[in-house]
Structure 1
Amino acid sequence: MVYSPSAKELSHFPFLKKAQDHVKGRFSSLDSLLKDKKGEALVERALARIQDAITPRKTFTPEVSGSTEDEIAGYALARVVVSCVNDRQLIDRLTRYESERAYFFLVNEEDWNQNYRQEEGEYSRLCVALAEELGIRITLDRMPFADYVELVAPLHDDRFHLVNRRVENSFVAIKKEERYELVRERIRLMLRRDLPHKVPSSLCEQLAPRVTLLKKAYQEQMLQQFGSIEESAFPPCMQALITALTAGTNLTHAGRFSLTTFLHTIGMNVNGIAELYARSPDFDAERTMYQVEHITGRGGSGTEYNTPACAAMRTTGICVHRDVLCEKVSHPLSYYKAKKRDQAGKFSKQGAVTGKEKGKQGEEKPPVPPT
């Protein structure tokens, strides 16, 4: 089918080639654009987009502010800005945001637009059309095997594993809601592979003041989310893996993957993670660095893998020494954040008690008033 997106759809899916063609020639060169008021407004729009991307809880609304052209240009500039920052985690945040945003519009477009409302027995025409634009073929209830395998490779949800699928005549069976999820993943992979752009140093220099502020905001966001690394707040499963490494025990592949993704997410750098494996009997520095970089998205396809949830950890036998807090969470990162909050609260209370005790004991007396 030939997909002719409306202006509204172009603003919803600005990564489409047709969206880029729509604004081609409407703006002057980036170098000159950034020097006028129009360019300043577009940069602000791009920075707002990135700010949304690093915000933990994202809220999407049906209406897009500004013109279609400004929305597409803001999207493109956001990618230029993160390329200047050149931080893989920030780039991953933006690509995930763009794929989630497109997913939101894709799922809801049928309700907003009469042209795409689904009739009984008919598949989503917009979903199929968008998928074709992105180079994948999706029908009512199935998808080509090759396309499916590529898309689900980074996904760790058990329901996407081939052993849980019906495969027939080189096609994999899928459900309606999964079509949207697979298109979302296709968008994320496509955008991630294209970043960072090779941006001329002159452009990055013009954006430098804004980039500095963005870096500061991002660092504050990461600090607020996970703070400094505190091993005492690690969940029992991660503590057990580190204890095994310290004792010179080889970890299973699942154990290495889980520990590496966990440490990477809470802010440990690649070199620090790789050094932890130095006591393994089969330690090979070059191979270990390659594996760590691959898992953290700094090598290979650029895919940054997520820490497995507690359910997956139980399946692989990594979930050990469960405590009371384990019963209340479903993910190692949730445990870590909750434990850090709990420790911070206890520290604050202890400080308050200590202050009161000092007053009672007369260790800190107020100065004698003058007579």
Structure 2
Amino acid sequence: MVSTLLARYPFFEPAREEVAERADQLVDVVDDEVLGRAEERVTMALREGTTGDVGIPDGVPAHVELFSYPVARAVVSIVDEHPVTRRYAWAESVTARDRFRDDLSEEEKRRRSDKRDAKTAGGDGRRAVFNDVVDEFGLEVRREDDGVSMEVGDFLELASGMSDEEWKLVNREVTDGWVRVTRDDVLELSREAVRERVADGLPLFVPEEARDAVAPAVENVREVVADADITTEIDRVEETEFPPCMKTLLAEIREGEHLEHHSRFAITSFLTNIGMETDEIIETYEVNPGFGEEVTRYQTDHIRGDTGPTEYTCPSCSTMVTYGDCRNKDELCETISHPLGYYRKRLEALDDEEGDGGEDDEEGGDEDGQE
């Protein structure tokens, strides 16, 4: 029997050990149930930003929930799309945080009822307690009469991935190397620790036998990636092929016009999505009167995902319309739903023209607006 605790937290070290004891290689744990749940983990991550409910899904045995985690990581590794990897790691961490909160609320109920102390409460392996969470990630946390404090080094390491002002050390009470936090702060920082652990090593090397075993899930996930407009990496900057909206915003920056926040986000995220480096984007903004290098660098790195858990994709066409950033539409705009879709089609057409020696090439094909 697999304990519910390990099934709920398959990234815990004891869970890894449990899997290793039960299987010599990944393919040994793959069956229809495990593969189905692994596929569900990844598709839910892409569509909903979570990998499951606070409890193990109804009808899913504990061993299936546990084994589906390494199999899901294998599926993500084979798909090998950076946005997919980021979304998956983020979703696993969000699910973990919600389960931590659920377990700790149960711990608090038990403490108040005086049925048993907190340490004993987790002994059956079915619920995590506060010490389980902090011990798993080696966090130095101490309880005090009026709250909780965390060792400043641990706080800074995990909070560096958080963008909100509340996570800046200057906004915290610090005494003798300890940072004042709440229990929920600890859980949020533990979520970041989970995200880092889940993402660690991805993409993994997946042996051929295991690739064959998980191939159906990989195919279905790739369809979800396409249907959900989750873009693959573009590492090519051809300004002449930019969609009209991005050409317009870029021109306004260079002309020194003030851009609203939503407009700055749109053009900056687009430029990061197509592979432009932060320094290049900073150079683009330098001519703008509102330019500030430190702020621009921080915002660009945050959008890129370098200083936070999420790599942002530029807004869809419908969002651009909502904020008034959809301007100078052309005929191709009528056939797509996302600026990156426009850019891809223009690059494909450009490549076709170059391949045909410059002959005219129509923008035909299946223009359904999907990435």
Report TM bin, short chain: 0.5 to 0.7
Instruction: Select the residue among 286, 292, 296 that pairs with 2:304.
Output: 296
Deviations 1:132-183 (A, max 9, x none): 1112122332100100011111211111111111111011111232121111
Letter in 1 for 2:150: M
Deviations 1:244-287 (A, max 9, x none): 554499x9xx99x956763278xx332599876775779xxxxx
TM value normalised by structure 1? 0.62
Distance 1:165 1:95 in 2: 28
Instruction: Select the residue among 27, 33, 40 that pairs with 1:41.
Output: 33
Distance 1:168 1:119 in 2: 34
**In structure 1, the residue corresponding to 2:223 is in which secondary structure?**
helix
Letter in 1 for 2:153: A
Corresponding residue number in structure 2 for 1:103: 97
What are the residue-to-residue correspondences of 1:118-197 with 2, within 5 Å? 126-140=129-143, 141-197=148-204
Deviations 1:19-72 (A, max 9, x none): 1222333235334555xxxx2331111001111111236562434442222211
- With over 3 angstroms needed to count, the CA separation of the structure-2 counterparts of 1:231 and 1:31, relative to structure 1, is same
Letter in 1 for 2:275: V
**In structure 2, the residue corresponding to 1:173 is in which secondary structure?**
strand
**In structure 1, the residue corresponding to 2:228 is in which secondary structure?**
helix
- With over 3 angstroms needed to count, the CA separation of the structure-2 counterparts of 1:172 and 1:272, relative to structure 1, is closer
Corresponding residue number in structure 1 for 2:362: none
Instruction: Select the residue among 42, 50, 62 that pairs with 2:55.
Output: 62
Q: 1:243 deviation in Å? A: 3.6
- With over 3 angstroms needed to count, the CA separation of the structure-2 counterparts of 1:49 and 1:66, relative to structure 1, is same
Letter in 2 for 1:184: R
Unaligned runs of 5+ in 1: 1-5, 283-290, 308-331, 344-350, 352-371
- With over 3 angstroms needed to count, the CA separation of the structure-2 counterparts of 1:194 and 1:223, relative to structure 1, is closer
Rg (Cα) greater in structure = 1
Letter in 2 for 1:269: I
Identify which of structures 1 and 2 has the higher relative contact order when contacts are C-alpha pairs closer than 8 Å and 6+ apart: 2
Distance 1:259 1:239 in 2: 11
Distance 2:266 2:29 in 1: 45
Corresponding residue number in structure 2 for 1:319: none
**2:16 aligned with 1:20:** yes
Contact 1:109–1:116 under 8 Å retained in 2: no
Count the aligned residue pairs.
288
Instruction: Select the residue among 81, 84, 90 that pairs with 1:87.
Output: 81
Corresponding residue number in structure 2 for 1:270: 275
Q: 1:100 deviation in Å? A: 0.9
Distance 2:176 2:248 in 1: 46
Distance 1:41 1:264 in 2: 41
Distance 1:70 1:194 in 2: 23
Deviations 1:307-348 (A, max 9, x none): 9xxxxxxxxxxxxxxxxxxxxxxxx959962735998xxxxx
Contact 2:33–2:64 under 8 Å retained in 1: no
Contact 2:77–2:202 under 8 Å retained in 1: yes
Report sequence identity in percent: 21
Contact 1:248–1:279 under 8 Å retained in 2: no
- With over 3 angstroms needed to count, the CA separation of the structure-2 counterparts of 1:100 and 1:118, relative to structure 1, is farther
Distance 1:271 1:338 in 2: 21
Distance 2:270 2:190 in 1: 29
TM value normalised by structure 2? 0.62
Contact 2:162–2:309 under 8 Å retained in 1: no
- With over 3 angstroms needed to count, the CA separation of the structure-2 counterparts of 1:260 and 1:202, relative to structure 1, is farther
What are the residue-to-residue correspondences of 1:157-306 with 2, within 5 Å? 157-222=164-229, 232=245, 242-243=250-251, 245-247=253-255, 262-263=269-270, 268-271=273-276, 296-297=304-305, 304-305=310-311
- With over 3 angstroms needed to count, the CA separation of the structure-2 counterparts of 1:144 and 1:118, relative to structure 1, is farther
Distance 2:111 2:160 in 1: 31
Q: 1:205 deviation in Å? A: 4.6
Letter in 1 for 2:152: F
**In structure 1, the residue corresponding to 2:150 is in which secondary structure?**
strand
